[in-house]
Amino acid sequence: KRYISSAKTYFIDNGIITSITPDCSSGQLFENLVISEVEKRRRIGQIDADELFYHESVGGREIDLIVEERKQITVIEVKSSKSVSGRDLRNIREFEIDKGKRKLRRWIVYQGSEHYMEDGISIIPFNRFFRGSWN
């Protein structure tokens, strides 16, 4: 089962988006920023994945980013808010995948300042997201 039903386009630089489409929301720009940073690290070899995926269910629920590596699968939701509510956890909590022997990590990246765990989901502020190792 593949995660992608149609291609999504992201840009390495948010300036490109705002010059093409000046009416992008701050949420769209923040999502692009997070995904472009993951892609940069994938391309330089810090992340061992051939490509990045997203998932949209038949009911319209989305997972913003899925990074499938040999030893682990990381599912990432991006929230542009400064806090995370129970409602924000719903899609990522309910997402299931046949992971085989790989570890499944669930992360929410947001614009707040606290790094904590809730229901097995790591809530990570963007300013700490890329500190240290991906693994």
- pLDDT number for residue 1: 46
Report residue 83's pLDDT band, with 50, 70 and 90 as the boundaries.
Answer: very high
Residue 67: how many CA atoms within 13 Å on its side-chain side? 23
Beta-ladder partners of 62:
56
The residues with which 119 forms a beta bridge, in sequence order, are none
Cα distances (Å, whole numbers) of residue 3 to 44, 94, 106, 117? 24, 15, 16, 25
Structure token pair of residue 66: 């899925």
Q: What are the strands of the beta sheet with 72-78, ordered from one edge?
A: 52-56, 62-68, 72-78, 103-110, 121-125, 116-118
Q: What would the two tokens of residue 132 be?
A: 């240290």
pTM: 0.85
- Per-chain mean pLDDT for the chain: 86
* Residue 11 pLDDT exceeds 90: no
Indicate the Cα dihedral angle 89, 92, 96, 99, nearest 10°. -130
Of 8-12, 58-62, 113-117, the range with the highest mean pLDDT is 113-117
DSSP H helical segments within the chain, as ranges?
A: 14-20, 26-43, 86-94, 126-129
